Amino acid sequence: MNTAFEKSVPGRTGCLPKRPVETADKILPESLLRSEPPRLPELSELDVVRHFTELSGRNFGVDSNFYPLGSCTMKYNPKFTEDVAAMEGFAKLHPILGQLPGTREWVQGALRVMHETEGLLCEITGMAAYTLHPMAGAHGELCGALLIAAYHKKQGNRKTKVICPDSAHGTNPASAALAGYKVVNVESQDGVITPDALAEVLDDEVAALMMTCPNTLGLFEPHLEEIVRLLREKDALLYYDGANLNAILGKLRVGDVGFDVVHLNLHKTFGTPHGGGGPGAGPVGVSERLVDLLPISRVVKEDDGYHLRYDYPDSIGYIAPLYGNFGVVLKAYAYMLRLGREGLERVAEHAVLNANYLRKRLEGVLEIPYDRICMHEFVASAATQAKNGVHALDIAKALLDKGHHAPTVYFPLIVKECMMVEPTETESLETMDAFADDLIEILARAENDPDSVTSAPVSMSVQRLDETKAARDMVLTEDLAEKE
């Protein structure tokens, strides 16, 4: 597909806005003015509309395709939340308002949204307080790791290690290491963490255990009570990676179980699909003993309204500019109010039901290493197909030709030729059946006509890419000088 510059025709124009009475060259100093007009594509209105319509049609998103991306939860994106975020009273607020003298009254609505969002998240997870500042999940992990470090420093503990299970999200070890901890691995036993396995690596220098529950195998961790007891004996904390919270909404409050620090992915669990780098929001919740350590500023409610407070001497300080990603927080707030307690419970119920439906439909054609009731996602293995030269990556590429986004492949690392499937709660029976039928047909071809699978995709604008080079050597600009 040609770029807009390549389609440019000298002299062609669309609708031109009326030229302003006062132009920039009358306002700016001469040193800041261009010596010649900028080179812009010259196109008609129809050229522009068709160009961007074609571009949008090449996008693979939740609005156009089934997106069973395990662990990443590309879920439903209700359009009403976009309308809420675009409301003039919110969209036109300047981020610095509320901090300037005399402006607090102007932002009472926004402060109320943040304060009540924190309250809703506390109610959903059972935590004592939240910060909304972290800008994404991994940023929330780092914030949580810094809170853990601050807690132990305040207690006078010498802690040097953080334990991460082999079923953890890949960012967990990175976040712990960034906070200065040595990362210690604990191996899963039949897909979950057992007290015996934890006891082998737990000592007085362990600061925390970072857990995802349900884990990246889609399995609920059944030994939480014993795990919490073991950690308490060492004054170690339990961290909850909330990436998979959608599986337990309204069913389990992780604070009630004993988790001390929680990060949530508002952009995954509460109505804003992520991908392409954002936008995200990763609020962090804490139990009562860590509340004073939360980042500043914090929103408090007093008799005369809502205030931003900074006077918390034990705080870890600033973790992000201003108040985090307010637009994503606002959409999550609207989503939670609209669904209510009953609706959020149904999210979890349907997510688990859909995942188990697909697991059962595919168990006869794909190896399911942990073939038991799963939560919101399940993990399959293409190890059998790999013996014939067709790997998980090939199957994933073939699904693109069928109009489905590929599932997550090769994660978690503890399953060979791994394929992680997460249908999410809003997919219909017809959509999941179509995906299962297509996957079954691809697996039949993998046995009878493997070349047709290993050569996929054939219907995309590009075929097999060097994925490492594509990610690390992107060319996203055009050298206009060469076009002169």
Q: Average pLDDT, stretch 27-48?
A: 91
**pLDDT on residue 414:** 92
| Cα 182 from chain centre | 25
Q: Which two tokens stand for residue 360?
A: 């059962």
427 contact partners, CB below 8 Å, separation of at least 6? 66, 354
pLDDT at 484 over 80: no
Ramachandran class of 335: left when φ > 0, alpha when ψ lies in -120 to 50, beta otherwise: alpha
Average pLDDT, the chain: 93
Given a contact cutoff of 8 angstroms between Cβ atoms, the answer to whether 215 and 192 are in contact is yes
**H helical segments located in 234-275:** 254-257, 266-269
CA distance linking residue 211 with residue 194, whole number of Å = 12
Distances (CA, A) of 59 to 272, 391, 423: 17, 25, 19
Strands 237-242 and 261-264: parallel
Strands 182-186 and 161-165: parallel
**pLDDT on residue 18:** 83
Q: Average pLDDT, stretch 153-174?
A: 94
CA distance linking residue 271 with residue 284, whole number of Å = 18
φ, ψ of residue 90 to 5 degrees: the values are -95, -50
**pLDDT on residue 278:** 63
**pLDDT on residue 274:** 64
**pLDDT on residue 348:** 96
Q: Average pLDDT, stretch 60-89?
A: 86
**pLDDT on residue 276:** 54
**pLDDT on residue 483:** 57
- Rounded percentage of the chain residues whose pLDDT exceeds 90: 79
Distances (CA, A) of 300 to 50, 104, 114, 124, 140: 49, 12, 10, 19, 21
**pLDDT on residue 20:** 81
Task: State pLDDT tens for residues 223-271.
Answer: 999 999 999 999 999 999 999 999 999 999 999 999 999 999 998 899 8
Given a contact cutoff of 8 angstroms between Cβ atoms, the answer to whether 267 and 397 are in contact is no
Where do the domains of the chain lie, and which CATH numbers do they carry? 4-57 (no CATH), 81-338 (3.40.640.10), 346-470 (3.90.1150.10)
CA distance linking residue 145 with residue 156, whole number of Å = 17
Closest CA to 232 of 252, 259, 256, 255: 259
Task: State pLDDT tens for residues 204-218.
Answer: 999 999 999 999 999
pLDDT at 299 over 60: yes
* pLDDT greater at residue 71 or residue 43: 43
Beta strands in 73-205 (DSSP E): 129-131, 161-165, 182-186
Q: Average pLDDT, stretch 186-191?
A: 94
Q: Average pLDDT, stretch 159-167?
A: 96
Beta strands in 370-480 (DSSP E): 378-381, 408-409, 418-421
Q: Average pLDDT, stretch 334-339?
A: 96
**pLDDT on residue 474:** 82
pLDDT at 22 over 90: no
pTM, full prediction: 0.90
| Cα 396 from chain centre | 21
Q: Average pLDDT, stretch 161-172?
A: 92
